[in-house]
């Protein structure tokens, strides 16, 4: 495979609508594998990138797509961990909406036994984000209590399951009663539908130790007020707005920490470490059936526009997957 060959990729056309176009195949560098992509998944970040609000980090593919599942079709110099024909899923900085993607070999994980490509494509971004931020950034300890705003999101549904497996009681806030019911099924201990019940009435007086917060904005003060002494809030998004007014006294007196965290812009080495720890500590739970992808829907990639519309309308519970090939 060379960079002179062409492949299909799902890109915004001149009117901004997603559709297939012919583009050059990615080149393969030292330490990389070339994957034939069979499935990818939609992330909230894809919607922002399309609008020009979340550009790829320097050197990353301009093509959308932060994760995929597929087959190794070529290995660059220095790759020893994979060989042609291996079925893997991968965390990407971009390029998942292409027929082929080249990726640091260390950012791939084996597809859990019995999983389809669609199921495997739903794993990397959500589980890497939840694992990184709960157990590494926030250093969540056994028994500590967790709040997951947007609990029915791709990241939220992964985080609920990790908390269940790791023995951390977790609670959610969501937009609908249907989403709350699904979060409880997945293992959340309780939750509120925003606008129907306050988080304080659910969680006070105990409060929580850690919050994985993709909402922040107007909700940040409410979230911080729920943290116990030494509590940690990991800020992973600001769907509720990027500005907030805070009671700094509370942060100081209760010794709270607010930790900002993005996955995509981390160094290749940091991501390799994260994927290594995910493979060791989280992946075995998929083969044992304790963890599973939560798949909202699967669209052929020719219908990526409809898949994005579903996510933009906040209709999904868990992951929306794009099937690139027929299997
Ligand atoms: N920092 C990182 O490294 C990182 C990595 C991955 C994802 N993220 C962030 O994590 C969040 C979840 O990503 P995802 O792809 O899993 O999302 P997703 O599956 O698209 O789910 C997002 C959900 O958030 C809720 N929501 C939307 N706007 C909201 C608002 N203004 N206030 C409260 N809730 C709102 C909606 O559910 P309801 O109906 O329940 O409101 C929506 O379905 C996003 O903010 C994303 O950018 C960050």
Q: Is residue 191 in contact with ligand 1, taking CB distance under 6 Å?
A: no
Domains 6-123+265-323 and 126-260 share a fold: no
In this prediction, residues 212-229 reach a mean pLDDT of: 97
Q: Which atom of ligand 1 is nearest to the CA of 314?
A: 43
Residue 84 CA to ligand 1 center (angstroms) comes to 36
Pick the residue whose CA is nearest to atom 29 on ligand 1. Answer: 239
Q: Is residue 261 in contact with ligand 1, taking CB distance under 6 Å?
A: yes
pLDDT tens profile 31-77: 999 999 999 999 999 999 999 999 999 999 999 999 999 999 999 99
pLDDT tens profile 114-127: 999 999 999 999 99
Mutation choice for ligand 1 from 127, 153, 223, CB with most ligand atoms inside 8 A: 153
126-260: CATH, from 3.30.1360.150, 3.40.50.720, 1.10.287.1770, 3.40.640.10: 3.40.50.720
Residue 2 has pLDDT above 60, yes or no: no
Assigned architecture for domain 6-123+265-323: Alpha-Beta Complex (3.90)
Q: How far is residue 294's CA from residue 320's CA, in Å, rounded to a whole number? A: 9
Q: Is residue 124 in contact with ligand 1, taking CB distance under 6 Å?
A: no
The pLDDT value recorded for residue 326 is 73
Confidence of residue 327 (pLDDT cuts 50, 70, 90): low
Pick the residue whose CA is nearest to atom 31 on ligand 1. Answer: 240
Residue 327, exposed/middle/buried by CB under 10 A (0-12, 13-18, 19+)?
exposed
Residue 78 CA to ligand 1 center (angstroms) comes to 37
């Amino acid at each position: 495979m060379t960079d002179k060959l062409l492949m299909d990729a799902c890109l915004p056309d001149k009117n901004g609508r997603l559709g297939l176009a012919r583009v050059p195949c990615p080149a393969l560098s030292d330490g990389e594998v070339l994957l034939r992509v069979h499935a990818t998944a939609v992330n909230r970040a894809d919607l922002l990138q399309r609008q020009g609000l979340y550009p790829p980090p320097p050197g990353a593919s301009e093509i959308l797509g932060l994760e995929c599942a597929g087959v190794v079709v070529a290995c660059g110099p220095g790759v020893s961990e994979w060989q042609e024909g291996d079925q893997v899923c991968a965390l990407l900085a971009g390029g998942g909406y292409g027929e082929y993607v080249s990726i640091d070999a260390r950012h791939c994980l084996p597809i859990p036994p019995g999983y389809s490509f669609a199921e495997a494509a739903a794993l990397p971004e959500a589980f890497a984000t939840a694992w990184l931020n709960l157990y590494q950034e926030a250093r969540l300890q056994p028994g500590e209590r967790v709040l997951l705003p947007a609990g029915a999101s791709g990241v939220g549904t992964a985080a609920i399951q990790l908390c269940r497996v790791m023995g951390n009681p977790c609670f959610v806030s969501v937009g609908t009663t249907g989403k709350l019911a699904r979060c409880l099924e997945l293992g959340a201990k309780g939750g509120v539908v925003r606008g129907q019940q306050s988080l304080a009435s659910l969680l006070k007086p105990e409060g929580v130790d850690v919050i994985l917060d993709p909402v922040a904005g107007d909700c940040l003060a409410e979230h911080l007020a729920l943290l116990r002494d030494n509590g940690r809030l990991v800020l992973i998004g600001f769907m509720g707005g990027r500005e907030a007014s805070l009671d700094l006294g509370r942060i100081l007196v209760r010794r709270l920490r607010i930790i900002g965290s993005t996955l995509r812009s981390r160094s290749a080495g940091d991501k390799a470490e994260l994927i290594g720890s995910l493979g060791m500590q989280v992946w075995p739970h998929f083969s044992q059936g304790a963890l599973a992808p939560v798949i909202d829907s699967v669209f052929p990639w020719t219908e990526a526009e409809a898949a994005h519309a579903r996510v933009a309308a906040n209709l999904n519970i868990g992951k929306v997957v794009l099937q690139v090939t027929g299997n």
